[in-house]
Structure 1
Amino acid sequence: MNRFVVGIVPIVVVLVLGSFLWQDPTIQNLGYPCALTADNAEGPYYIVGAPSKETFGATLEGQRLVVSGQILDYSCNAIPYAIVDVWQTDSNGEYYFDDAFTLRGKVAADENGLYHFETVFPGKYSESGMVRPAHIHLKILSAEDETELLTTQLYFQGDKDHDWLVKPSLILDLEEIDGTKYAEFDFVVSP
């Protein structure tokens, strides 16, 4: 038998068995009713110390967007008072640094893990010659000590510029009512 084939067979066996024995809990989440939300890159523009609020960029031009949902654990139980730390661009694809918290803030969920925030629909921007799709950055933090439970990004259905960072489970469906776009997304995290 060819030495290459003999050497490659054990590697393939380990990879195949490994995919069943050491599964990624974000993808597989075996034994739990709720699949964990996929993580995604933090990106270079996160700023600590954002204030608590539910309305972002109220004075900015652009289409309004309301995002709401629930924060759950992998058993589908609500995580009361968890925090959604949000940051994004304006409708022109610009991050704010001089007035850093215009489009940044922390949204507290209620006792049932329900959250909502209103913002301006984010614009696209070019990075290293590549257009980033419209997206919102988020971290889910514990209520007790703001321990980070998840860092991810949310994207939007129908965006032709989806790139390699976009995961299908992070794409929001949009509904428009009276000129405002609405989207729902439930975060599932491991507390």
Structure 2
Amino acid sequence: MSVQVLHLTGQSDPRSCALSPAQHAFLDDLPVPESAKVRLNFPYDDRLAPYRPVPLWLGSLRHLVLFWRIRLRRRSWAARVTPSVTRQLLAADRTLVLAGSIGLDLLGRLSLPAPVLDRLVVVAYGAVATRPPDCRVIRVGSRSDHLARWWPADVLVDAGHLDYLAAPELATLCRSLLAELEAAP
């Protein structure tokens, strides 16, 4: 059984799918082979620009614009990104999706078929989602996260909206889920 772990967050920089240093570091600390660590972010297009830091206010504004664009042009947006996302999700038998911020909502709005969703376990941290996907989702929240604290959470950690990946409880949860996925038939 092959397992992969990947990030799925909104594109704070719409010209890039590169991971942030914190996302790379989080993957580095997970007990899976390097080949199981997807080093790109949504929508998994390695032809896009390299990583550039984006301030929270600008990333939040871009996510809000994306949120409304998807609602106005859902079919064209989904038609554009679904093939690359599906291809990445089908690259392994099981996938642990680390969905930050609006990532859970993006995944839900793709309307992926059940055979794809059945392969996923989603850890949604700082999740802002009005339409989560129909798969196993563990929501990780924080009372300190002023953007996501109004959404439901299954697990609480001490983190701000950009600090979830530094929370030891999130790493522990992901290690446990990876062990579960690797042991699954």
TM-score (norm 2): 0.31
Higher strand share: 1
Which structure has more helix as a fraction of its residues?
2
User: With structure 1 as the length reference, what TM-score do the two structures score?
Assistant: 0.31
Higher relative contact order (CA 8 A, sep 6+): 1
Answer with 1 or 2: which has the greater Rg: 1
